[in-house]
């Protein structure tokens, strides 16, 4: 097993640079932090290149996970000093677990969606915490895939991974051009449901039981014209009071769980 003591070590400096989007994209790898996140990545058979851990930060549960993975002998391990780990950690209370993971290679051709698939499209969202929260909601409501379009946060932003609490690995997450996705959704007979304050029907009045794509845009600007023109139907979330918008993760939860309610067989 490798061991790194100094936070000034060359490898630590290289891994620290993975906090930058352009470096992640160039090297096609990212840092994943957290015991729960690592467990989900292992379960999803993500392409984990190396696991790094700092014994002085490990909880009893984290120690058990590391010991289990060491016995499996499927991964390369590097032990870090407390100082070296702290250089890479983005958490106030780290649990001592990091992994170097290869970026996903999900694409449209790999999808095998059921006849009644439910997918969510996030267009031009900027706040990584919102994206992570939506991934958790989509996971819990059995959404089949999540698509990211437009400009904004990349899906490998550390705050997306952290706020998803491992749900990043639950379903396919694909980032692509909006025009290409619109063509795909129409060819696959999806009903495109756009959220818009100008809509005349409430979100719970829509039928989501067949192939449906829920489209959500940024809180400040809403959906762009490309998605509004492509939509088969538009729905709104009725509001009273002084507020004129909801947090997008809250809006997503309302629509996703309405679709889940209509489909629920339990």
pLDDT in tens, the chain (266 residues): 899 999 999 999 999 999 999 999 999 999 999 999 999 999 999 999 999 999 999 999 999 999 999 999 899 999 999 999 999 999 999 999 999 999 987 789 889 999 999 999 999 998 999 999 999 999 999 999 999 998 877 899 999 999 998 999 999 999 999 999 999 999 999 999 999 888 889 999 999 999 999 999 987 667 889 999 999 999 999 988 777 678 999 999 999 999 999 998 76
* Distance between start and end Cα atoms, the chain: 48
Task: Quick: pLDDT tens for 186-203.
Answer: 999 999 999 988 888 999
CB neighbourhood size of 20 (10 A):
10
**C-alpha torsion sign, points 194, 197, 203, 207:** negative
Contact 53, 2 (CB under 8 A): no
Could you give the domains of the chain?
2-102 (3.30.1330.30), 108-263 (3.40.1280.10)
Task: Quick: pLDDT tens for 118-172.
Answer: 999 999 998 999 999 999 999 999 999 999 998 877 899 999 999 998 999 999 9
DSSP 125-182: ---HHHHHHHHHHHHHTT-SEEEEESSS--TT-HHHHHHTTTGGGTS-EEE--HHHHH
Please give the pLDDT value at position 73.
85
Average pLDDT in the chain: 93
Between CA 255 and CA 260 the distance in angstroms is 9
Please give the pLDDT value at position 182.
97
Please give the pLDDT value at position 266.
64
Q: Which of 9, 13, 29 is nearest to 21 (CA)?
A: 29
Please give the pLDDT value at position 223.
86
Contact 77, 51 (CB under 8 A): yes
- Strands 118-123 and 48-53 turn out to be unpaired
């Amino acid at each position: 097993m490798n061991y790194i003591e100094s936070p000034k070590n060359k490898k630590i400096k290289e891994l620290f640079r993975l906090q930058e989007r352009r470096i992640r994209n160039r090297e096609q790898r990212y840092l994943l932090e957290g015991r729960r996140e690592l467990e989900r990545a292992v379960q999803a058979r993500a392409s984990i290149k190396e696991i790094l851990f700092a014994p002085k930060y490990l909880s009893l549960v984290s120690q058990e996970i590391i010991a289990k993975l060491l016995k499996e002998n499927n991964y390369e391990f590097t032990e870090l000093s407390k100082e070296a780990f702290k250089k890479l950690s983005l958490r106030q209370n780290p649990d001592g677990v990091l992994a170097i993971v290869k970026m996903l290679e999900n694409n449209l051709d790999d999808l095998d969606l059921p006849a009644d698939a439910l997918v969510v499209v996030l267009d031009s969202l900027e706040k990584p915490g919102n994206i992570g929260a939506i991934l958790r909601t989509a996971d819990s409501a059995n959404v089949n895939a999540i698509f990211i379009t437009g400009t904004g946060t990349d899906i490998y932003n550390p705050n997306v991974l952290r706020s998803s609490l491992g749900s990043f690995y639950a379903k396919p997450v694909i980032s692509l051009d909006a025009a290409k996705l619109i063509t795909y959704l129409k060819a696959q007979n999806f009903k495109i449901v756009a959220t818009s304050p100008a809509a005349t029907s409430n979100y719970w009045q829509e039928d989501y039981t067949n192939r449906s794509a829920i489209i959500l845009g940024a809180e400040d600007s809403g959906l762009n014209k490309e998605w509004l023109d492509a939509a088969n139907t538009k729905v709104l979330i009725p509001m009273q009071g002084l507020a004129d918008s909801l947090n997008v993760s809250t809006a997503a939860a309302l629509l996703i769980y309405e679709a889940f309610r209509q489909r629920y067989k339990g």
